[in-house]
Amino acid sequence: MLEEKILKTIKKYNLIQNDDKIVIGVSGGPDSMCLLDCLYCLKDDLKIELVVAHVNHMIRAEAEEETKYVNEYCQKHEIPCYIKYEDINKLAKEQKRSSEEVGRKVRYEFFDEIAKKTGANKIATAHNANDNAETVLMNILRGSGTSGLKGIEIKTEKYIRPLRECERHEIEEYCKLKDLNPKIDKTNFENIYTRNKIRNELIPYLKNNFNPNIIQGLNRLSDLAKQDDEYFSKIVKNEYETLKIGENEKEIILDLKKFNTLPKVIKARLLLYTINKLIKSAQGIEKTNIEDIIKLCQNNIGNKYLMPNKNIKVYVKKGEIFFLKQ
């Protein structure tokens, strides 16, 4: 049974503890309905309380039917259900961003809002092994660094992904077995977005022509990359404490001489760690930005500064590396 597999994942990664209150992001599709139904069936054994958060993106005609379906399931099983309506296409046009990107942002902000409102300490999303494999492939195609090979992590702060080790065919079989009749988003079969092309074209091609177990293979790669990343993260954290000269909300100062003695792989990770520590994000910072900072430090150019993004300035002066929040 899939419930047993999910329970093993929960115990293996210590995802859930007794008395946890969990917000589940539910769209009404097979993945999220499987997650909701499994956690509902396990809630007494796990001693947890459940809350559902559903976002109606107002993109498709079927959206209202999906909202009704999720709400009815929750009413039947006496689970609090919070619903948000948001015109994603309109919002995306206003912000000049993709509807996919805006939709994700809206969902996660709503999940956080409901967690705060209900006093929940965990948020569960329905990412599965196929989603993870698709993410790893997408990151490879984008030219991501090794951190991109980690894919979708099973646990990040309060977010948990109990289905991450379950494949899509197992989830679909569970939905049939439990007669859940989840709603199918037809746009998942339209090869407009990169992820859909990877899901519907690239992975089937790789499966048929190279490796029938491509999903398991990519997930093994993901797990190995995570282990490597955890190892390097410990080293980088220790090096940061050794190099740190000053730290406050507006700036961080590191020892230039000590920094220049480090291997390049540690330098790069240390720079990203420092930037993320100061401005809470390293998004948009490319490999070339990091290499430019490393060169700046090696050459010890004191009259030049770099801005890897608009939120931070980096320069060297009198044997120190300055990171200034903008």
CA–CA distances in Å: residue 245 to residues 38, 257, 259, 285:
50, 12, 12, 24
Q: Is residue 105 part of a domain?
A: yes
Per the listing, tokens 């919002």 go with 91
Say if residue 70 is in the same domain as residue 112. yes
If asked whether residues 214 and 118 sit together in one domain, one would say: yes
- The distance of Cα 57 from the centroid of its chain, to the nearest Å, equals 20
The tens place of each residue's pLDDT in the chain, 326 residues long, gives: 899 999 999 999 999 999 999 999 999 999 999 999 999 999 999 999 999 999 999 988 889 999 999 999 999 999 999 999 999 999 999 998 888 889 999 999 999 999 999 999 999 999 999 999 999 999 999 887 788 899 999 999 999 999 999 999 999 999 999 999 999 988 788 887 889 999 999 999 999 999 999 999 999 999 999 999 999 999 999 999 999 999 999 999 999 999 999 999 999 999 999 999 999 888 778 889 999 999 999 998 777 899 998 899 999 999 999 999 99
Which of 186, 221, 256 is the C-terminal boundary of a domain?
Answer: 221
- Residue 274's domain spans which residues? 248-325
Q: What is the greatest pairwise CA distance in the chain? A: 69
145 and 53 within one domain = yes
Do 213 and 294 fall into the same domain?
A: no
On whether the CB atoms of residues 185 and 200 are closer than 8 A, the answer is no
Is residue 176 in a domain? Answer: yes
Q: How far apart are CA 13 and CA 153, in angstroms?
A: 11
Tokens of 265: 């792989």
Question: Domain total for the chain?
Answer: 2
Distance of CA 241 to the CA centre of its chain: 27
Same-domain status, 23 and 167: yes
- Looking from the CA of 117 toward its CB, the CA atoms found within 13 Å total 13
Question: Is 57 inside a domain boundary?
Answer: yes
160: which residues sit within 8 A by CB, 6+ positions away? 15, 16, 22, 122, 123, 124, 125, 154
Instruction: Assess whether 267 and 200 both reside in one domain.
Output: no
